[in-house]
Amino acid sequence: MKDNKPVKSPPMQTESSPEKNNSGLNREIQAKIGQQLRAAGSRVVYFAGYKKIIDRYKVEEIEKAADVVVWVCDEAPGFTPGRVQDSAFVGNIVEAMAAYGRGDLGSDLSDAGIPLSSVDRLIVIGSDGMMRAVQQARHSVLRPYLKPDHQAIGSINSPMQCMMKEICAQCLQVHRDPASGVESVVFSCFNQDQDLDRVDFGNLRARLGQNGVQEKLTRLWIDRSLRQLGLRQTAAE
């Protein structure tokens, strides 16, 4: 790194998850985190992932949150970057990070130059599936491009009820020590930002699945109400 300041990279969610409706909120949080990191002197690479082109908004907020933005979209032809140091990629977040690491996107070679190999910390916010993919890819396809001693933090979206830190236990999350395999349990509402390598994502998926019926019913009810009011013509997907 040129300036010896910590570099942080928050890869973002592809919105294909059980918590799809939280994606807008996630985006707001990510933008604020990036802006505050930059204000504190960090340099930020932001992998902003979307399922569809139409899903993107608050572009300026995201640009303010990062020295370099990689706009990632599952849907072709993807995005057109608005700044010279930014780039775009069609595919998923892990593929985009690998392409950036290889230098295929060009942005890490620009004046803003933040190679993936200089990143000290990853902040991973999004669906449990995306966070799990990044957790695993760091030890496989992304390994050649990352510092061996980088830190990775996931913003763990356990289902929550009271959010009063150790009262109702709705937010319990299993951790597993990567070295010893010893299991422990934490309250996610006490601290959502958890060591990515310790999180048992199988447990998280099972806990999130417990809300599946209520989420489907709520979605159907809102869809029915909007169609009855004439605010939506056809049933939502």
What residue ranges bind ligand FES (CB under 6 A)?
Answer: 160-164, 166-171, 187, 189
Helix, strand or coil for residue 48? strand
> Between 34 and 154, whose beta carbon lies closer to ligand FES?
154
The dihedral region occupied by 75, where left means phi > 0, alpha psi between -120 and 50, and beta the remainder, is beta
> Between 109 and 163, whose beta carbon lies closer to ligand FES?
163
Distance in Å, CB of 46 to ligand FES, minimum: 29
Please give the structure tokens belonging to residue 43: 């340099």
> Between 29 and 160, whose beta carbon lies closer to ligand FES?
160
Stated length of the chain: 237
> Between 136 and 170, whose beta carbon lies closer to ligand FES?
170
Distance in Å, CB of 205 to ligand FES, minimum: 18
For residue 6, which amino acid is it? P
What gap in Å lies between CA 45 and CA 69, rounded to an integer? 6
Distance in Å, CB of 24 to ligand FES, minimum: 22
Quick check: 124 and 48 in contact, CB under 8 A?
no
What gap in Å lies between CA 10 and CA 29, rounded to an integer? 11
Distance in Å, CB of 186 to ligand FES, minimum: 10
